[in-house]
Amino acid sequence: MASTYTYSFFPISKSVGIHASAQKYRELRLKALKTSPGSFSSTYEIEAAFSDADWVDRLTVLDREVFICAATPSGRDPSCSDDTQWIGQVTLRGPSSRADFELPAEAGQPPQRSDEEEERWQMLSLFTLPEYRGRGLGSKLCQAAIDYLRSYRSAPRDVQVRLIVKAGNDVTVELYRRLGFVHAGRATLVEALIANGDEHLIPKDQARNSAIPETAAFPLVPTVREIVLTLQDESRWTNLPY
């Protein structure tokens, strides 16, 4: 498969071809929820019921940027080939204020710097289709997202990227550590849902600080300037088993 496909990485436009993009994204997202249900806070049953307008809204909300890995048969133009398939994605949510980004003290997360000193983003929903894993595509998706954060800003503030992984998912934790992320405490499932912008999935009887130990998660964040250091070492972005 690797010798017959070329791969491209790009953010989904919030305006150009948005309805077609929403349908492609829906197909990929539902495959992800079916294939790896334990990797997501949402479920296939919830999102399969979304309307077309819901999927468009997901891609056009101002605080999210969705990045896609697309596979195109070799020799075809990815921009105009009907054979191009979306096979992976990762999402950035932000930038968030210090107040919105901070977890409760019990989480053990390091203190946050001021909004003037630092910009904060949450990374979530990294996924590639199983038949394309083991080719480093997940790491390249992350690189595309981080390159976006490095290039779109006019001010050279430091950037912090955080993600929250379900407890017990040691393989995923190790993969992110190889990308330069370090352990930075623990969070409840409720806190993880809020950080990912999925408050609507929280049961009405659960408060923000509710402890759900059986589904606690690991928040991982790069140390100061870790994004830049990670990108300087290109070998850390290849051959990851996604």
**Bond before 203 cis per omega within 30 degrees:** no
pLDDT at 232: 24
Position 90 scores a pLDDT of 95
What are the residues facing 68 on neighbouring strands? Answer: 10, 89
Architecture of domain 5-203+223-232: 3-Layer(aba) Sandwich (3.40)
pLDDT tens profile 9-34: 999 999 999 999 999 999 999 999 99
Supply 107's token pair: 């989480």
* pLDDT beneath 70, residues of the chain: 1-3, 78-81, 154-156, 204-242
DSSP-derived secondary structure for 16-48: TTHHHHHHHHHHHHHHHHHH-GGG-SS-HHHHH
Tens digit of each residue's pLDDT (9 = 90 or more) over 55-91: 999 999 999 999 999 999 988 776 666 789 999 999 9
- Report in angstroms the alpha-carbon separations of 222 from 64, 111, 129: 20, 13, 26
Burial status of residue 232 (CB atoms within 10 A of its CB: 0-12, 13-18, 19 or more):
exposed
pLDDT the model gives residue 200: 78
Q: Rounded distance, CA 182 to CA 88, Å? A: 24
State the pTM of this model.
0.82
With CA atoms as reference, report the closest residue to 128 among 46, 75, 71. Answer: 71
